[in-house]
Amino acid sequence: MDIIASGSNTIEEPLVMAIGTFDGIHLGHQQLIKTLKDKASLYKCASAIYTFDRHPLNVLCPDKTPALLMNNKQKLSVLRQYGIDYVILNEFNKAFADTPADKFVNNILFGLYDVKSVIVGFDFTFGYKGQGNAQLLKDEGRKRGIDVVIVPPVKVNGITVSSSLIRRLVSDGCVEEAACYLGRPFALLGEVHTGHKIGHKLGFPTANLTPDPEVVVPRRGVYATEVVISGMEGIWKAVTNIGTRPTFNDTHISVETHILDYGGWLYGRELEIRFISRLRDEMSFSSPKQLVRQIREDIDRAREVLENLDKASSASQSSSESH
């Protein structure tokens, strides 16, 4: 997958292009990507995602900028898994925000690229103050003989999948429900740094992460999680605590993960923490001894939740293979 800087016309082959913010790459975005891949196959063209280096509200209305579901590194990593040929990572700045809709269509979209088909979501808008919408783009495409596809909303249990809905679920700690709309567990990415070593002293060493400040963090509490360690194969079962360590009168929000059955070195490594299930709220204990007792219970429960997930996944895979 090639990553192309905004304004570049270095792609010399015909394209089918999907446009959007793609924050979270949820089930709705995945439908756009499926349509993109299908059209690329039909037109025998390369596939391209046209997206942005930041959320548009970061420029349009900074005070209302939402916390993201993933940073650019995560976004590009997930898009790479879909076999996209190009990602055009556009710099969303004031000049771009002020671009009139017709100029975006004529000078950028159909001016810089040899586009045979364009895929957008039902709620897509573009141009200065959102002057353009999906239907306008479809009309402009028709004039040029370009196939513009508007993907309808994707719904789960009658609810339209959206990044804003998933952000709200994650921030409320509803990670299992968020996964239903994402199509996979919500994940935080970060590098392990030195903490206060409280977990180590209690007999449960933890990997301490400082997540991207622009990415939403689940509500304070304890979660059953899965961990991917950079440079290592496999997925590790874990327990993750998000909170302020109230038992030790700490006020700093931390993300601490105890990886089950792991005793290796983690400092400086990058971890992807996948949130599977919320176990309990943040609690304060009267003594470290009480905390240790609760941690053991958390580990037992997390292990049970994650092992049941493995069994369900294996059963589902066996059922699929039998058919």
Q: Which two tokens stand for residue 275?
A: 């949130």
Question: How far is it, in rounded angstroms, from Cα 148 to Cα 218?
Answer: 37
* Residue 121 to residues 35, 40, 307, Cα–Cα distance (Å): 11, 17, 37
DSSP 147: E
Question: How far is it, in rounded angstroms, from Cα 301 to Cα 305?
Answer: 6
Q: What is the 3-state secondary structure (H, E, C) of 83-97?
A: CCCEEEEECCCHHHH
DSSP 23: S
Question: How far is it, in rounded angstroms, from Cα 79 to Cα 159?
Answer: 25
Q: Are 49 and 2 in contact (CB under 8 A)?
A: no
Backbone angles phi, psi at 275, to 5 degrees: -90, 115
Interior/surface letters 212-233, b for 16+ CB within 10 angstroms, e for the rest = beebbebbebbbbbbbbbeeee
- Which residue is listed with tokens 């420029």? 59
Q: Are 195 and 206 in contact (CB under 8 A)?
A: yes
Query: In terms of residues, how long is the chain?
Result: 323
**Among 219, 220, 221, 212, CA closest to 190:** 212
256 is catalytic: yes
Backbone angles phi, psi at 80, to 5 degrees: -60, -35
Question: How far is it, in rounded angstroms, from Cα 158 to Cα 177?
Answer: 14
Question: How far is it, in rounded angstroms, from Cα 218 to Cα 60?
Answer: 26
Active-site entry in 226, 256, 304, 321:
256
Could you list the active site residues?
Answer: 256
